[in-house]
Amino acid sequence: MDRRNRRAFFAVSLAGAFMIVALAGSAHVAEGAVNGSSEMSRHVFGPGESFEFRLRYGFLETGRAKIEIGRDVDSEAGEIWPIKVDARTTGTAGFLYDMNTLFVSHFIPEEDRTLGFDRDSVERGDARFTTMRLDHANQKAEVVRKQEGRPEERRTYEVGPASHDIASAIFWLRDRPLNVGDVEKIRVFTGRKAWDMKATVTGTERIRTQWGRMEAKHIRLHTQFDGDAAARRDIEIWMANAPHHVPLAIRADLALGSIRADLREYAPPRDSH
Nearest to 261 by CA among 10, 2, 4, 6: 10
CB atoms within 10 A of CB 40: 18
Amino acid (one-letter) located at 113: R
Q: Quick check: helix, strand or coil at residue 17?
A: helix
CA–CA gap between residue 25 and residue 211 (Å, rounded): 9
CA–CA gap between residue 222 and residue 230 (Å, rounded): 11
> According to the model, what pLDDT value does residue 163 have?
86
Q: Quick check: helix, strand or coil at residue 35?
A: helix
CA–CA gap between residue 164 and residue 70 (Å, rounded): 18
CA–CA gap between residue 240 and residue 217 (Å, rounded): 6
Q: 86 - beta bridge partners?
A: 66, 102
> According to the model, what pLDDT value does residue 254 have?
67
CA–CA gap between residue 221 and residue 227 (Å, rounded): 17
CA–CA gap between residue 178 and residue 129 (Å, rounded): 35
> According to the model, what pLDDT value does residue 223 have?
80
CA–CA gap between residue 234 and residue 38 (Å, rounded): 32
Contact 119, 103 (CB under 8 A): yes
Q: What is the dihedral of CA 129, 199, 67, 91, to 10 degrees?
A: -80
CA–CA gap between residue 90 and residue 8 (Å, rounded): 9
Contact 145, 130 (CB under 8 A): yes
Q: Quick check: helix, strand or coil at residue 229?
A: helix
CA–CA gap between residue 270 and residue 211 (Å, rounded): 22
> According to the model, what pLDDT value does residue 22 have?
29
DSSP annotation of 190 reads: -
CA-based torsion, 117, 103, 127, 75: positive or negative: positive
> According to the model, what pLDDT value does residue 210 have?
86
Q: Which residues of the chain have pLDDT under 70?
A: 1-41, 92-97, 225-233, 242, 254-257, 271-273
CA–CA gap between residue 40 and residue 38 (Å, rounded): 6
Q: 257 - beta bridge partners?
A: 254
> According to the model, what pLDDT value does residue 12 have?
46
pLDDT of 8-35, one tens digit each? Answer: 444 444 444 343 332 222 222 334 444 4
pLDDT of 81-111, one tens digit each? Answer: 999 999 888 776 665 667 788 999 999 999 9
Overall pTM surpassing 0.75 (yes/no): yes
Largest alpha-carbon pair distance within the chain?
Answer: 53
